[in-house]
A and B are shown apart, each in its own frame.
Chain A
Amino acid sequence: MAVRLTLTVNGKPVSAEIEPRLLLVDFIRDHLRLTGTHIGCDTAQCGACTIHLNGNAVKCCNMLALQAQGANVLTIEGLARADGTMHPMQAAFRDHHGLQCGYCTPGMVMSALDLVKRHPDPSEEQIRAELDGNLCRCTGYHNIVKAVQAGAKA
């Protein structure tokens, strides 16, 4: 039985008839075609699917689209300015080489923004602890920590 889902994604109102079992990540990727939000492990461990739900970072592979009913969702596509200028946190990841293959990067950036909101000037230790829900198999995290520190200051 299809149900009406209405929410705001990256500042734009969105509405669709969906099956209750549709995951939020599949709604974002397959229905809205916002494929910057990645599916890594599909078991809520790797954090590649991290988005903001009403301002809080969540793993959208582990929730129903209907759990975002009426909510304000922000994905990686919602960060850059209309003219394509990257968000300072995105720019910091580029400048500090905080990525190699890039698969974990959208989730890393979304988690980093949630972190910086609560810790405007995070220490290395805080960054490493707070990003424990985001896995990167390339970088060894070192440049990610540098990027987040620089992004927080930007």
Chain B
Amino acid sequence: MHEFNYHKAGTVAEAASRLAASPEARLLAGGQTLIAAMKMRLAAPSDLIDLAGVAELKGIKVDGGQVTIGAMTTHAEVAASQDVVRAIPALALLAGSIGDRMVRNMGTLGGSVANNDPAADYPAAVVGLGATITTNKRKVAADGFFTGMYQTALEDGEILTSIAFPIPKRAGYMKFKNPASRYAMVGVFVTETAGGVRVAVTGAGPCVFRVAGMEQALAKSFAPAAAAGVKVPADGLNADIHATAEYRAHLVSVMAGRAVEQALGK
């Protein structure tokens, strides 16, 4: 790992001013991706600004039909939160399926979403539930937040502070895990709300995406077969030693059907 300067921020404002002071500075959330990347020298920030001491970035509250989760809340905290389990059980299940127990005790919602790994779980929930991302500067709708592989709408110096997830009528999340990394080879988040159905897919492509055809089919009939019956083209999907693009495309339909089953409590 290359050398860097370490700063522990006490507030979001302090972290923002540190971030503005050095162009090569990075924020440190749980570090479950960033520390590994720094060890391999894939990342070499000049400065690390540790957010672990920023109390305003932690916590879960349910209010006004939505669950708002602070960026520094860990996956283990989300998975264990009775508020989340009651309001959006699929979100608690998703958080409890990330990595392994030790990773979930360190990794955070904000870190995962800001990193936007193509196989991360949380982007599927953020887009699938139509969440709103709050930063230290503005609010961004989920549909405009994830812009490409490891790319988001976050600008230089912008800090993700919390995410508000609207409570749906029902939702489900199913993923086909890579057995070694537990990352999603394909993960599908399905949500039914009063306003319609949303289907968000992670792991299959370079970035989380919605499947309009499945949303329309599920709006007509919210049943596993309706989702599984919609085929997704393999063009542009990820292909690697674990699965071809065609295999991933097939998995999208299968996982979508299972996510609907889970949403229906079957």
Q: A residues near B, CB below 8 A?
A: 1, 3, 19-21, 23, 42-45, 47, 50, 53, 56-59, 62-64, 66-67, 69, 111, 114-115, 130, 132-134
- Min CB distance A135 to B, Å, is 9
A20 and B6 within 8 A (CB): yes
- Min CB distance B95 to A, Å, is 15
Complex Cα–Cα for A3 and B5 (A): 10
A132 and B4 within 8 A (CB): no
Report if B102 contacts A (CB, 8 A).
Answer: yes
Q: Which residues of A have CB within 8 Å of B4?
A: 20-21
Q: Can you report 20 residue pairs joining A to B where beta carbons are below 8 Å apart?
A: A1-B5, A21-B1, A21-B3, A23-B1, A23-B39, A42-B39, A44-B102, A53-B105, A56-B76, A58-B102, A58-B105, A62-B36, A62-B39, A64-B28, A66-B6, A67-B50, A111-B101, A130-B101, A133-B101, A133-B103
A21 and B2 within 8 A (CB): yes
B50 and A66 within 8 A (CB): yes
A44 and B103 within 8 A (CB): yes
Q: A20-B4, A132-B100 are in contact. Are A62 and B35 (CB under 8 A)?
A: yes
Residue of B nearest to A49 (CB): B102
Chain B interface extent, by class: 20 to 34
Q: Which of B6, B76, B181 is in CB contact (< 8 Å) with A45? A: B181
- Min CB distance B185 to A, Å, is 16
B99 and A133 within 8 A (CB): yes
Chain B 143-181 interface residues, beta-carbon cutoff 8 Å to A: 180-181
A45 and B180 within 8 A (CB): yes
Report if B58 contacts A (CB, 8 A).
Answer: no
Report if B182 contacts A (CB, 8 A).
Answer: yes
- Min CB distance B115 to A, Å, is 15
Return the CB mask of B66-88 against A: 1 if under 8 Å, else 0. Answer: 00000000001000000000000
Tally inter-chain residue pairs, CB-CB below 8 A.
Answer: 76
Report if B219 contacts A (CB, 8 A).
Answer: no
Q: Which of B5, B35, B38, B101 is in CB contact (< 8 Å) with A114? A: B101
Q: B residues near A, CB below 8 A?
A: 1-6, 8, 28, 31-32, 35-36, 38-39, 48, 50, 52, 76, 99-103, 105-106, 180-182
Complex Cα–Cα for A57 and B105 (A): 7
Complex Cα–Cα for A7 and B2 (A): 24
Q: Which residues of A have CB within 8 Å of B31?
A: 62-64, 67
A44 and B101 within 8 A (CB): no
Q: Which residues of A have CB within 8 Å of B32?
A: 44, 62
Q: Which of A1, A64, A115 is in CB contact (< 8 Å) with B101? A: A115
A47 and B50 within 8 A (CB): no
Q: Which residues of B have CB within 8 Å of A133?
A: 99-103
Q: Which residues of B have CB within 8 Å of A23?
A: 1, 35, 39
Q: Which of A19, A47, A132 is in CB contact (< 8 Å) with B3? A: A19
Q: Which residues of A have CB within 8 Å of B1?
A: 21, 23
